[in-house]
Amino acid sequence: MKAPWSFARFLPLAERLLNRGKLPALIFAVVRKSQGTAGRFSELKANVRLLQELCLAYWRGEYRAINPRSLVMIVAGLLYFVSPIDAIPDWIPGIGLLDDIAVLAWVVNSLEKELAAFKAWRDSLRPEKLRVVERLPASPRALQLEHNSGEKPTM
């Protein structure tokens, strides 16, 4: 399946974001935007949450069993989701999120095997370890410091 036409321009942005260690800022932007869709678009929220959890586990070094190109696609999809300037501007009531839904659905469908492997890994964790892995600190800076200090989440 071919990528949505407006998605391609987010790939180099995703590579730069990853190379510059800015993944925590994106994770928090995704959290803020997905909270704004409360009660609506349950499938979108589930997909966003899955991709966000994968990025968080990757950032912490807990999960590295992902192809680097797949990670770039995930980050590009999340960048598309948080960008107010995409194919259909998000401020248009009723249809503003339709392109975000389509792009994220395409990313999820394209990376079905990678995401199934991540889900299996996540589901294999003990509940107390899962809580630690999924825990989101109070700020992007706190997540950045956690990563820079080499701290591994404790159980």
Each residue's pLDDT, cut to its tens digit, for the chain (155 residues) gives 677 768 889 999 999 999 999 999 999 999 988 877 655 677 888 889 999 999 999 999 999 999 999 999 999 999 999 888 766 666 666 677 778 888 899 999 999 999 999 999 999 999 999 998 889 999 989 998 887 665 544 32
Task: Let me know if residue 63 belongs to a domain.
Answer: yes
Distance from C-alpha of 29 to C-alpha of 121, rounded to nearest angstrom? 25
Q: Based on the structure, what is the number of domains in the chain?
A: 1
Query: Tokens representing 141?
Result: 């800076």
pTM: 0.87
Q: What is the pLDDT of residue 154?
A: 37
Distance from C-alpha of 7 to C-alpha of 39, rounded to nearest angstrom? 26
Provide the residue range defining the domain that includes 118: 10-148
Task: Let me know if residue 2 belongs to a domain.
Answer: no
Q: At what angle do helices 42-59 and 68-82 cross, to 10 degrees?
A: 130
Q: What is the pLDDT of residue 149?
A: 67
Task: Let me know if residue 73 belongs to a domain.
Answer: yes
Closest C-alpha among 32, 18, 26, 4 to residue 108: 4
Task: Let me know if residue 55 belongs to a domain.
Answer: yes
State the chain's maximal CA–CA distance in angstroms: 44
Cβ atoms of 106 and 7 closer than 8 Å: yes
